[in-house]
Structure 1
Amino acid sequence: MKSRVARFPKKTSNRSSSSDGLTTFSANDLQAMEFPPLEFLVEGLITEGLTLLAGKPKMGKSWMALDIAMSVAIGCDALGDRACKKGTTLYCALEDNPRRLRRRMAHVYGDQATWPKNFHFTTQMKKLDDGGSEQLEDWFQEHRPSLIIIDTLVCVRSASKRRTEYEADYATLAPLQRLAGEYGIAIIIVHHQRKMGSEDPLDTVSGTTGLSGGVDNILILDRKSHGVTLYGRGREMDDIDITVELNDGYWRILGDSDAVKISSQRRAIIDVLKSAERPMGPKEISEALDRPQDSVRQLLTSMAKDGEVKKQTRGKYESP
């Protein structure tokens, strides 16, 4: 992956700089700059830069990180249907050991003759502010990876003496963001959600807003009524809201969350009608599902057009 560096115009007469002052550029200079398009390492999900992948304990974050790393190393689709650019990967599995990693790999990918040589692991790493960032940069210089995953943040952050928790959180991620930006690579750091929920998924990240402010992109694994969602927001990429499913160590994308949610509601209505073994009206169905009557009535109309339910007299429905 190439570093996304702007090309300044040859004439920069409006720019001013000094050894001790600011280096500036005019709006006219900015207009003439050329930037390459945003590059995705994993289509629609992972760009170059620093990404925070957060979720509650036992949500399967490490399984997802492993799938992304393996998919990039091989150059196959990640999470079932997202194309990857092939490249060298480093997975810092700092809460694991080689025995557990081998068992996990064999469970998902089989005990095949050869796993990719460009997929590297480490289970030990220094704190980022105590030599860890230098370890990563030295390793990068030798192997030139496209992707580095650190699992988890707590293993590489140090107790900071900075004035505020926000400053400490922001400073923790600064070396990783610098490394990702300078070399045009993707770095994913795995983290936890706090216990309390929030309307905005980003507010569930454990720690201060210094963490969300210190990264380029955030991915949140969260459990909803219709399943597990992967919500994403980035500085340059479009928002992500998809439903995903973990099955025996393997994550796959089910589709856009709104579409999956509607599909799950349709299945719930069909189950209610089958259980009742008699025609039911929208009010009865909404009470059985504890959902608004108007939304159930609208959904029943669509389902009748699609042949999923059969409308009887007096506005009642049954399973066809």
Structure 2
Amino acid sequence: MLNPGPVPIADYEREQTKAKRLVRTNTTILMATLFPPIRWVVTGYVPEGLAILAGRQKLGKTWLAIDFALAVACGGTAMGAISCKQGDVLYIDMENGPRRIQRRVETLYPHAHRRPDLSRLDWASEAPMLNNGFIEALDEWRLSVDEPRLVVIDVLQRIKPPGNANQNAYESDYAVLSGLQRWATGNGIAVVALHHTKKGGADDPLEALSGSNGMSACADTTLVLDKDQNGVTLYVRGRDVEEKESALKFTAGYWTVIGEASEVRRTDERSVIIEFLRDNREPITPTDLGAALGWKTNNTKQLLFKMAQKGEILREKGRYFLDAHNLDNRDNPGRL
């Protein structure tokens, strides 16, 4: 047998250190590759990959997650408006237990004979830690069902191991979630992990997650459920989703999306303006109206102008008012 000769130094060192090579793709090949479309679980809100659903305690995160789970399991609608493709769902609920889960489902479907087929929704009340068998447990479920589409973790903190003393909080959170994120994206499954927001909140609701920014940085999608004087808003931001703010309402266990938050709030503001003008009757300037309502003058001016254009109110010499003979202004053509 011929002696192959000495091994090149670079190859020898690579073999000795077990160093991994970079896996490269040429741009020409990359641009010619046909990738499958993003797999949506709840269109516009929850795509494949890891999603963090956060909010204050008792605000209804679990009800919203159950809404997603039921919609996917039976091929129904999420938030009363978004059709979901049917698939298999695993809901890991480590806080409520079987009795409370049963009550929640009965709240949503009080009549057993009208209850849809929910056989594609499985529940688990216990789970291993993220760094000690959790991914393997998910994979076992994935291989046991026909079409795995959604996993809900309620709540993330129950399976999150303590931070690593050799890492800062950001590094630790990112490292803990990275395996789960890779599993979700690699298998085309949506994993929605419930989490809490900071007590003090944040200027940007999507940066209000409790803990470090490592969580939102690792997650493919971040959803934050928040409530203020304007109502409940679901904020969404992610790698594959268009950033949005949706106004929601909650009634008897059901979450319903009303519409884009800015449009819904604007409608509410218009109602306030019409009510004010109806009560005061006298024409008023945008500055005075803004001061009376505690609104910014420029925003008030823009909204009044739009309302006058649509004939909702009248404008004359820079002042706005309702027609005294038509206080509802339903037939007002506008007078600009």
Please say whether Structure 1 and Structure 2 have the same fold, judged by a TM-score greater than 0.5. yes
Q: Distance in 2 between matches of 1:301 and 1:182?
A: 51
The one-character-per-residue Cα deviations of 1:215-250 (angstroms, maximum 9, x if unpaired) are: 111111122442221111111222122111112221
Conserved 8 A contact 1:272-1:288: no
The one-character-per-residue Cα deviations of 1:239-280 (angstroms, maximum 9, x if unpaired) are: 122111112221111111221121111111122233435554
Match of 1:69, SS? Answer: helix
Match of 1:127, SS? Answer: coil
Determine the structure 2 residue equivalent to 1:138: 140
Q: Distance in 1 between matches of 2:94 and 2:154?
A: 6
Indicate the larger mover: 174-183 or 149-158: 174-183
Match of 1:65, SS? Answer: helix
Q: Which amino acid aligns with 1:309?
A: I
Q: Distance in 1 between matches of 2:152 and 2:163?
A: 23
Q: Which amino acid aligns with 2:154?
A: D
Query: What is the aligned-residue RMSD (CA, Å)?
Result: 2.2
Determine the structure 2 residue equivalent to 1:13: none
Please state how far the C-alpha of 1:281 moved relative to its aligned partner.
Answer: 4.0
Please state how far the C-alpha of 1:174 moved relative to its aligned partner.
Answer: 2.2
Please state how far the C-alpha of 1:313 moved relative to its aligned partner.
Answer: 7.5
Correspondence 1:214 to 2:222? no
Among residues 247, 254, 257, which one is paired with 2:258 in the alignment? Answer: 254
Correspondence 1:293 to 2:287? no
Determine the structure 1 residue equivalent to 2:164: 161
So what's the TM-score if we normalise by structure 2? 0.83
Q: Pick the structure with greater CA Rg.
A: 2
Q: Distance in 2 between matches of 1:264 and 1:165?
A: 41
Q: Which amino acid aligns with 2:162?
A: A
Q: Distance in 2 between matches of 1:275 and 1:92?
A: 53
Q: Distance in 1 between matches of 2:27 and 2:311?
A: 58
Correspondence 1:66 to 2:70? no
Determine the structure 2 residue equivalent to 1:187: 191
Q: Distance in 2 between matches of 1:142 and 1:259?
A: 44
Q: Which amino acid aligns with 1:215?
A: A
What are the equivalent positions in structure 2 for 1:40-55 lying under 5 Å apart?
Answer: 40-55=40-55
Determine the structure 2 residue equivalent to 1:106: 106
Q: Distance in 1 between matches of 2:135 and 2:172?
A: 16
What are the equivalent positions in structure 2 for 1:1-320 lying under 5 Å apart?
Answer: 20=19, 21-113=21-113, 114=115, 115-143=117-145, 144-163=147-166, 164-276=168-280, 279-311=283-315, 315-318=319-322, 319-320=327-328
Q: Which amino acid aligns with 2:128?
A: K
So what's the TM-score if we normalise by structure 1? 0.87
Match of 1:244, SS? Answer: strand
The one-character-per-residue Cα deviations of 1:78-102 (angstroms, maximum 9, x if unpaired) are: 1111121111111111111111111
The one-character-per-residue Cα deviations of 1:290-316 (angstroms, maximum 9, x if unpaired) are: 012332233223223333334578724
Indicate the larger mover: 200-209 or 106-115: 106-115
Indicate the larger mover: 198-207 or 150-159: 198-207
Please state how far the C-alpha of 1:201 moved relative to its aligned partner.
Answer: 2.5
Q: 1:92 to 1:303 in 2, by over 3 A?
A: same
Match of 1:129, SS? Answer: coil
Identical columns (%)? 34
Q: Distance in 2 between matches of 1:125 and 1:176?
A: 14
Indicate the larger mover: 249-258 or 270-279: 270-279
Indicate the larger mover: 297-306 or 286-295: 297-306
Q: 1:306 to 1:233 in 2, by over 3 A?
A: same
Q: 1:158 to 1:314 in 2, by over 3 A?
A: closer
Any stretches of 5+ residues in structure 2 without a counterpart? 1-13, 329-336
Match of 2:191, SS? Answer: strand
Q: Distance in 2 between matches of 1:289 and 1:263?
A: 15
Q: Distance in 2 between matches of 1:283 and 1:176?
A: 53
Equivalent residue pairs, number: 304
Match of 1:128, SS? Answer: coil
Conserved 8 A contact 2:304-2:320: no
Conserved 8 A contact 1:281-1:317: no
Determine the structure 1 residue equivalent to 2:11: none
